[in-house]
A = this chain, B = another copy of it.
């Protein structure tokens, strides 16, 4: 490995001069600068970013930990964050927390050790202590999609309760009475809010609440498949299913197709998230759409401001930005 000293030796200067040339932060005479550049060229030298960051504690990269790398929802989030930070000359490294606290912790540690300047994550609710430690250490953090108690930091989320409420209200409006819901864990604010909206709408319409119609579990595709099947095994069949996340929706569709149930004739389906395939599947899906790309953009922008030391943002300890959802009616509901 060729290092700064090798370059310095070859150019006949000190390593400080080499550093100055590389970082362009001190005046170096044209003559020496050229010598150094030439030596760098010839030796094919490259700065060791890791050694540098050991020193300066800054890397110009941010880390992102998402809930489930397989989900299109998180792909879009990741892409929007990267697109945004790229404008600030920042790079992004992505980690798969997999909605698993121990994986999350592992990657939090890796990111911290790699001295990323900031972290954006969809938190599980088990690592608040460590997250606080990271914040105290000076690394900027912003939460996305989910909130957690006990950590004081900015976040950008969506009006979960309201999105869900509007959806169920719509279903009731078009005549559905037996409405089932498949929701992600209520320890997450997403699951909690989406369940609340469901409950509120059912209550408001004075519909009987049937606990057998409510399934709560992890939010991956397979969980969606399983919970849908469970739901349909019951003696009483719902007229429509509301699924409270993208992958839960995907799972429900797969299960319904497998059971050869026609949507919406045999059973209706109202999903969460509007993505590429939402409109092209059979039938096109009625969904609660959330501004996924925007979620990432907003989070990244807040993070960049915090990193740059923007007073307004830095002073407000925990700014929570809530974006709104909107109902998109297509053909999976009658």
Contact A78–B69 (Cβ < 8 Å): yes
Q: How far is the CB of A226 from chain B (nearest CB, A)?
A: 15
Contact A133–B280 (Cβ < 8 Å): no
* Minimum CB distance partner of A50 in chain B: B113
Question: A79 on the interface (CB 8 Å rule)?
Answer: yes
Question: A210 on the interface (CB 8 Å rule)?
Answer: no
Contact A250–B221 (Cβ < 8 Å): no
Residues of B with C-beta under 8 A to A22: none
Question: A94 on the interface (CB 8 Å rule)?
Answer: yes
Which of B109, B276, B282 is within 8 Å of A280, CB to CB? B282
Contact A254–B280 (Cβ < 8 Å): yes
* Minimum CB distance partner of A247 in chain B: B276
Contact B70–A79 (Cβ < 8 Å): yes
Complex interface bits, A95-118 against B, C-beta within 8 A gives 1, otherwise 0: 110000000001101101111000
A54 vs B113: C-alpha distance when bound (angstroms): 12
Contact B250–A276 (Cβ < 8 Å): yes
Contact A96–B96 (Cβ < 8 Å): no
Which of B1, B93, B280 is within 8 Å of A257, CB to CB? B280
Residues of B with C-beta under 8 A to A250: 276-277
Residues of B with C-beta under 8 A to A50: 50, 53-54, 113-115
* Residues from 253 to 274 in A contacting B, C-beta threshold 8 Å: 253-254, 257
Stretch from A41-49, A181-189, A311-319 forming part of the interface with B: A41-49
Q: How far is the CB of A209 from chain B (nearest CB, A)?
A: 31
Complex interface bits, A124-165 against B, C-beta within 8 A gives 1, otherwise 0: 000000000100010000000000000000000000000000
Residues of B with C-beta under 8 A to A92: 95-96
Contact B82–A76 (Cβ < 8 Å): no
Contact A114–B54 (Cβ < 8 Å): no
Q: How far is the CB of A45 from chain B (nearest CB, A)?
A: 11
Question: A174 on the interface (CB 8 Å rule)?
Answer: no
Residues of B with C-beta under 8 A to A71: 75
Residues of B with C-beta under 8 A to A79: 69-70, 96
Assuming the A-B contacts A93-B95, A281-B280, are A110 and B61 also in contact, with contact meaning beta carbons closer than 8 angstroms in the complex?
yes
Contact A72–B72 (Cβ < 8 Å): yes
A46 vs B44: C-alpha distance when bound (angstroms): 35
A283 vs B281: C-alpha distance when bound (angstroms): 8
- What is the interface of chain A, defined by CB distance below 8 A to chain B? 1, 44, 46-51, 53-54, 61, 69-72, 75-76, 78-79, 82, 91-96, 106-107, 109-110, 112-115, 133, 137, 221, 250, 253-254, 257, 276-277, 279-284
**Contact sample, A vs B, 26 pairs, CB 8 Å cutoff:** A46-B109, A47-B113, A48-B54, A50-B50, A50-B54, A50-B114, A50-B115, A51-B54, A54-B54, A69-B94, A70-B76, A71-B75, A79-B96, A93-B94, A93-B95, A93-B110, A94-B95, A250-B277, A253-B280, A254-B280, A257-B279, A257-B280, A277-B277, A277-B281, A280-B282, A282-B284
A-B contact sample (11 more), CB < 8 A, given A69-B94, A78-B96: A44-B133, A46-B109, A47-B113, A70-B75, A71-B75, A82-B96, A93-B93, A114-B114, A250-B276, A253-B280, A282-B282
